[in-house]
Amino acid sequence: MNDDRDNALLSLVDVVKIYGTHQVLNHINLDVPQHHVITLIGASGSGKSTLLRCINGLEDIQGGEVRYAGEVISGEGVDRVAICRKIGMVFQSFNLFPHMTVLKNCMLAPVRAQLFTRGEAEHRARELLQRVGLAEKADAYPDQLSGGQQQRVAIARALVMEPEVLLLDEVTSALDPELVGEVLDLIRSLADRGMTMVLTTHEMAFAQQISDTICFMHKGIILEKGRPEDIFERPREAATQAFVRRFVQAGAH
């Protein structure tokens, strides 16, 4: 266990999150090795999205630590901008600024954070828009794009900051079914390039294909963790078995 933690790029150690009287995360421990893809699955309300927000510092935690490359990045006095440079996040709602072009949406954060000059940020943004297949949309506005295109822009925007870890929170849930594939293909290409990712998804077939590790969350804990084939074909816990069974049955109809 200690060897895993020593080798992890990102670690959660006994992380606790409480809203009022409700404990949303109950002593979460998770190690994320570099170049690995870890997928969080589970019912709505199990704590998946909250866990991602705690990793990125968008939510304060009430216990435990979040560590990046061995350094604590949770708690008082942490540089949130520095965290965002290392750990990017993409949300289910695209969160693009409607009054800015696609290119300016992608350039804004690195220029404000003084990570790049404006010229460097533009070059980087155009490169990434090319990679996500939207170079020709650089001067378009978000409302001129489909939902799938907007989500690909949101991913490009996160990558402009050159993060080491990318968090993806249900990034296809707001999309029409016919647009889901293009976003999943992009995420798959990032995994193939060795991007370290932690993601939540209801796309179980995709989770099986892309993940090094699956974590099944249930009532604020990681109830079961393992390789995709272990979780989907040989789940040990009754709650995991019931969850997987529902998706198998849904896929059969």
pLDDT at 53: 93
Domain count, the chain: 1
The CATH number linked to 247 is: 3.40.50.300
pLDDT of residue 92: 85
Give the CA dihedral 149, 184, 192, 36, nearest 10 degrees: 120
- Mode of pairing for the β-strands spanning 165-169 and 87-90: parallel
Digits of tens for pLDDT over the chain (253 positions)? Answer: 344 555 799 999 999 999 989 999 999 999 999 999 999 999 989 999 999 999 998 899 999 999 999 899 998 888 877 787 889 999 988 889 999 999 999 999 889 888 899 999 999 999 999 999 999 999 999 999 999 999 999 999 999 999 999 999 999 988 888 889 999 999 999 999 999 999 999 889 899 999 999 999 999 999 999 999 999 999 999 999 999 998 777 654 4
> Other C-beta atoms within 10 Å of 249: how many?
9
**Tokens coding 238:** 């009754």
Give the integer Cα–Cα distance in Å for 222 and 217.
4
Instruction: Give the residue numbers spanning the domain of 168.
Output: 2-252
Nearest to 90 by CA among 137, 30, 152, 6: 152
Q: Is 114 exposed, middle or buried (0-12, 13-18, 19+ CB in 10 A)?
A: exposed
pTM of structure? 0.91
Backbone angles phi, psi at 104, to 5 degrees: -70, -35
**What pLDDT shows up at residue 16?**
96
